[in-house]
Amino acid sequence: MIILTGEDLNLDDIIAVARHKEKVKIADSAKKKIKQAREHVDRLVKKGEVVYGITTGFGKFSDKKISPGEVLKLQENLIKSHAVGTGDALSLEVVRAMILLRINNLAKGHSGIRLKVINKLVELLNNNVVPWVPEQGSVGASGDLVPLAHIVLVIMGEGKAYYKGELLAGDEALEKADIKKIDLVSKEGLALINGTQMMAALGSIALYDSRKLMEYADYAVALSLEGLNGITSAFDGDIHKLRPHPGQIKSAEVVRNLTKGSNLAVYEHENRVQDSYTLRCAPQVHGASRDAVNHVKDIINREINSVTDNPLLFPEKDKVISGGNFHGQPLALGLDYLAMAVSEVGNISERRVARLVDGSLNNGLEMFLTPHGGLNSGYMIAQYTAASIVAENKVLANPASTDSIPTSANQEDHVSMGSISGRKLRDIVENVETVLAIELIVAAQAVDLRTDSPLKDLGKGSKIIYKTIREKIDKLKEDRILYPEVEEMKNIIKKGVISKKIKNL
> Which amino acids are annotated catalytic?
52
Instruction: Tell me the three state secondary structure of residue 357.
Output: helix
Question: How far from 110 is each of 24, 35, 41, 170, 299, CA to CA, in Å?
Answer: 20, 10, 10, 28, 21
Cα separation, 78 vs 486, whole angstroms = 46
Q: Count the Cβ atoms, other than its own, within 10 Å of residue 223.
A: 33
Q: Strand locations in 293-364, DSSP E?
A: 312-314, 319-321
Cis bond leading into 484, ω under 30°?
no
Cα separation, 167 vs 161, whole angstroms = 6
Beta-bridge partners for 56: 65
Strands 160-163 and 166-169: antiparallel
Inter-residue contact 206 to 426 (CB < 8 Å): yes
Q: Is residue 63 classed exposed, middle or buried when 0-12, 13-18 and 19+ CB atoms within 10 A define those classes?
A: exposed
Q: How does DSSP assign 130-159, residue by residue?
A: EE--EEE---SSSBSHHHHHHHHHHHTT-S
Beta-bridge partners for 266: 231
* Residue type at 3 in one-letter notation: I
Listed as own residue / partner, the contacts of 250-254 with beta carbons closer than 8 Å and 24 or more positions apart are 250/287, 250/290, 251/214, 251/217, 251/218, 251/282, 251/283, 251/286, 251/287, 251/290, 252/283, 252/287, 254/215, 254/218, 254/222
Rg value, the chain, Cα? 26
